[in-house]
Chain A
């Protein structure tokens, strides 16, 4: 029927519009990172000069490595601590457990601006001050609730009889955890880890509060560079980050899907 065809056409047009809205700025930026003109001028002239000069920009490179290192360490610490916390909350009943669980959610909702300010004041108060260590501690604190929420959700699908069965067969607590429980919650642990990495690697607000001129992360460095005056090197580094972030997100989606399976 004609009306159906028109509706179908409208639907397709809507999706194209939506995708364009989401991806056009990004594609444009990625394209401009390969354009010779620093002022977005056309016609398009292919070049990789900006990537080459990015390679020369020691400050940006140093910040990138800082970001990667902090993100990896944050992921390791928060995934291990968060998974252990989830297991403890799952296995044991203790006084104040409900209260503790309730306390895990607000940090996700509190604006990072406020968390950042609070951390800055606190770290000065206890003598840690600003710098990479402060940034790392801040990121771990931000990432932990995400890991606990994701791993706990996975644990909800775990049958406690499995741990009892393993114990009845002579397995000690360590063997039960490593051979029965951990394999089951692994998709949740990996998804939680990817979340932690994203929270740390994309973090600007808290990092901005806690960084010093020499000790900074990539998002903060990009912001500083833009304030000084725009250079297409920013396009180049942003394109790299987008590619890496999207790959990570696709991985997360894959593990979440796996987590949903029986």
Chain B
């Protein structure tokens, strides 16, 4: 086992900068999600760590050993591909045995290890099948068993759940997490699914246009996003833009929004505030502004989306549409067209430097 250090890694393809001076410390034994939209460079970064491609500049170390010029077959990594990439001409057991067999390990030892790996992914009885006889979820497990049987230093997963349907994906998320905990392997996981990143990982790195936007534990990124992009890409957020006042921002119509978390921006500079939709209270009366320092805005409901356990209200105010999520507590639901008052605490408001 080993941690992975990526330091100042850049990689260009022609004029396109796929990775621009990216530095991330992947902790030993941790589950790290690289999150970003397509074209953000997350897969390119994973391929640099795997060794399929070499960076133009920068350092990559696995377990403290510099590997940026070591080819993939000598890096002792395990990788699971998006489309599984199982060898179609081999049985499940031979697929899993491949990594041990190319190392020339004795047959008896290989058989034991293969069985142990197949048991770990709960496919102990299917060793004799061919890949095309398996379901998508089973192929996924075989790919995982094949990647970990060689006891790699780091496990790399390239959107491994992308090809599965929703229900199976949730099952596999839990399963993958269980296996990762059981063997304690450093895992780097590429995904564009923010929910997957939030539920599975210990740390998340958000990439955009080849740059690292923000990284840290999921709670930290969610509660204290450092950019509008981070705020809106990981979860939903209402963004207000205006001039910094020292304790918040002033909107163009004169309304002030107080923020007590986030960056410190000198008064007068451009800044934004982000508020999560579930942190906003919505009411019909004007009287609720009670709690002295709370942010209060008036508007009207333009749309309501009922989702069972909660409802999303779209509230119009001054040319802006705000999103409010209200838990279904049995209280009366608001009608579309109704005037409402929104209020939320400055503690729930994150100040972001423009």
Q: Spell out A's residues near B (CB within 8 Å).
A: 159, 161-162, 164-172, 175, 179-180, 183-184, 262
What chain A residues lie within 8 Å of B76 (beta carbons)? 170
Please state if B102 and A262 are interface contacts (CB–CB under 8 Å): no
* B50 interface contact, C-beta 8 A: yes
Alpha-carbon gap, A159 to B87, bound state (A): 10
Please state if A183 and B98 are interface contacts (CB–CB under 8 Å): no
Please state if B81 and A161 are interface contacts (CB–CB under 8 Å): yes
A165-B146, A166-B102, A170-B103 are known; give 12 further A-B pairs, CB within 8 A: A162-B85, A162-B88, A164-B85, A166-B87, A168-B147, A169-B147, A170-B74, A170-B102, A171-B98, A171-B99, A179-B98, A184-B88
Q: Closest CB-CB distance, A91 to chain B, in whole Å?
A: 13
Please state if B83 and A167 are interface contacts (CB–CB under 8 Å): no
Please state if B85 and A170 are interface contacts (CB–CB under 8 Å): no
Alpha-carbon gap, A170 to B150, bound state (A): 9
Please state if B88 and A175 are interface contacts (CB–CB under 8 Å): no
CB-based nearest B residue for A171:
B102
Q: Closest CB-CB distance, A235 to chain B, in whole Å?
A: 45
Cβ contact of B87, chosen from A162, A167, A175, cutoff 8 A: A162
Please state if B102 and A175 are interface contacts (CB–CB under 8 Å): yes
What chain A residues lie within 8 Å of B103 (beta carbons)? 170
* A–B Cβ pairs within 8 angstroms, 19 of them: A164-B72, A164-B79, A164-B81, A165-B79, A165-B81, A165-B87, A166-B102, A167-B52, A167-B71, A167-B72, A168-B77, A169-B146, A170-B73, A170-B76, A170-B103, A172-B73, A175-B102, A179-B98, A184-B88
Alpha-carbon gap, A171 to B86, bound state (A): 15
* B132 interface contact, C-beta 8 A: yes
Size bracket of the B interface: 20 to 34
Please state if A184 and B73 are interface contacts (CB–CB under 8 Å): no
The CB with the most chain A CB atoms within 10 A, among B81, B85, B88, is that of B85
The 5 A-B pairs of least Cβ separation, nearest first, read A169-B99, A161-B85, A165-B85, A168-B79, A171-B102
Q: Closest CB-CB distance, A180 to chain B, in whole Å?
A: 6
What chain A residues lie within 8 Å of B98 (beta carbons)? 166, 169, 171, 179
Q: Closest CB-CB distance, A159 to chain B, in whole Å?
A: 7
Q: Spell out B's residues near A (CB within 8 Å).
A: 50, 52, 71-74, 76-79, 81, 83, 85-89, 98-99, 102-103, 132, 146-147, 150
Q: Closest CB-CB distance, A167 to chain B, in whole Å?
A: 5
Please state if B52 and A164 are interface contacts (CB–CB under 8 Å): yes
Please state if A169 and B102 are interface contacts (CB–CB under 8 Å): yes
Alpha-carbon gap, A175 to B101, bound state (A): 10
What chain A residues lie within 8 Å of B150 (beta carbons)? 169-170
Alpha-carbon gap, A184 to B88, bound state (A): 8
CB-based nearest B residue for A172:
B73
What chain A residues lie within 8 Å of B52 (beta carbons)? 164, 167
Alpha-carbon gap, A175 to B87, bound state (A): 13
Q: Closest CB-CB distance, A81 to chain B, in whole Å?
A: 24
What chain B residues lie within 8 Å of A162 (beta carbons)? 85, 87-88
Please state if B73 and A171 are interface contacts (CB–CB under 8 Å): yes
CB-based nearest A residue for B75:
A168
CB-based nearest B residue for A262:
B132
What chain B residues lie within 8 Å of A180 (beta carbons)? 87
CB-based nearest B residue for A162:
B85
Alpha-carbon gap, A172 to B132, bound state (A): 26
Query: With A168-B50, A168-B72, A170-B99 as given contacts, are A184 and B85 in contact (CB-CB < 8 Å)?
Result: no
What chain B residues lie within 8 Å of A175 (beta carbons)? 102
Alpha-carbon gap, A225 to B260, bound state (A): 105
